[in-house]
A = this chain, B = another copy of it.
Amino acid sequence: MKVTVNRKAHFNAAHRLYNADWSDARNATVFGKCANPHYHGHNYELIVGVKGEIHPETGFVMDMKVLKKLIEVEIEQAFDHKNLNEEVEEFKKLNPTAENIAVVIYHKLKPKLDVNLILTITLYETPRNFVVYGDE
């Protein structure tokens, strides 16, 4: 049986919800105040879950120090104190909804992990809204 280890991290970013194929009026209608062209922002709280077998020698599924460092390098350095729409390559043509941010985080971390590990991304956009995406 497999165990999931989870590590919490966080980043603060500005964004707006915006579909470049639509008129500004349609963006405002669909996305409401989230379409504000001057941006708003969030404290994103991220939980990265990695599921696998316990290594018998270490008692670890994955060394949390390694996972913590991986999240810092791949996610926090890329997203923290950034404007997601303006400064993060993945969102130049992709609307930075919580759903899409979680999928992007998944694809940034997945290739860095052992292929036998099962990855789940939980992303809180606010304490009241969160999304989950992953291999299961």
A39 partner, pick from B1, B83, B129, B133, beta carbons under 8 A: B83
Q: Quick check: B133 and A82 within 8 Å, CB to CB?
A: no
Copies of this protein chain in the complex: 6
Bound state CA distance, A81 and B30, in angstroms? 15
Q: Which residue of B lies closest to A33 (CB)?
A: B81
Q: Quick check: A129 and B6 within 8 Å, CB to CB?
A: yes
Q: How many A residues, CB 8 Å from partner? A: 63
Q: Which residue of B lies closest to A6 (CB)?
A: B130
Q: Which residue of B lies closest to A83 (CB)?
A: B38
Bound state CA distance, A57 and B129, in angstroms? 20
Q: Quick check: A60 and B13 within 8 Å, CB to CB?
A: no
For residue A129, which residues in chain B have a CB less than 8 angstroms away from its CB?
Answer: 5-8, 64
A38 partner, pick from B14, B64, B126, beta carbons under 8 A: B14
Chain A interface (Cβ < 8 Å from any Cβ of B): 1-8, 10, 12-15, 17, 19, 21-22, 30, 32-34, 36, 38-43, 45, 49, 54, 57-61, 63-65, 80-83, 86-87, 94-100, 102-103, 126-134
